[in-house]
Amino acid sequence: MCICGNEKKFIECCGSIIEGKRKALIPEELMRSRYTAYVLGHGRYLVDSCVNRYEEDVRLIEEFSNSVQWFKLDVLNSFQNKVEFKAYYKDKDGIKVLHEKSSFVEEDGVWKYKDGELYNSKVQRNENCPCGSGKKFKKCCAL
């Protein structure tokens, strides 16, 4: 199973996109590969797959990615050039959720991340814990 949660093998899914062996065919594929790159701390790919590229972001992304423990990705909605998702991770303050509706554009046949609308979301007490324990959040990592 791929890091992004798809049933495909990593190299057949996000790995081949991150390594430049194939292009993301749709925005959701690009978004999933970007999540996977965050998990792997692959800052170069994340900067290169954006419309607005800032070289200093490579190091900042890698520092952030390596300072947290990533749990899972939930794709909530994917329509045309927008993908809404929740990415769960744990930092020094506990489990967090990055909830975003991302916008993508196609430039010369290549999909790129444009920007995103962030939502103020939290892991709810009665949700299954993102850590994968199978317990409710309130009985697991919320303690």
CATH number at residue 89: 3.10.450.50
Nearest Cα to Cα of residue 43 among 64, 22, 27, 23: 64
The reported pLDDT for the residue numbered 54 is 83
State how far the Cα of 115 lies from the Cα of 20, in Å rounded to an integer: 22
Tokens of 46: 């994340």
- When pLDDT is cut at 50, 70 and 90, the band that residue 53 belongs to is confident
pTM over 0.85: yes
Give how many domains the chain has, as a whole number. 1
Residue at 65 is within a domain: yes
Residue at 3 is within a domain: no
Residue at 1 is within a domain: no
Alpha helices in the chain (DSSP H): 14-18, 27-40, 43-48, 57-67
Q: How many residues does the chain have?
A: 143
Residue at 113 is within a domain: yes
Residue at 2 is within a domain: no
Residue at 119 is within a domain: yes
SS3 59: helix
> Per-residue pLDDT tens for 83-133?
999 999 999 988 999 999 999 999 999 999 999 999 999 998 898 999 889
CB count within 10 Å of CB 106 equals: 13
Amino acid at 14: C
Boundaries of domain holding 67? 10-139
CB 86 within 8 Å of CB 121: yes
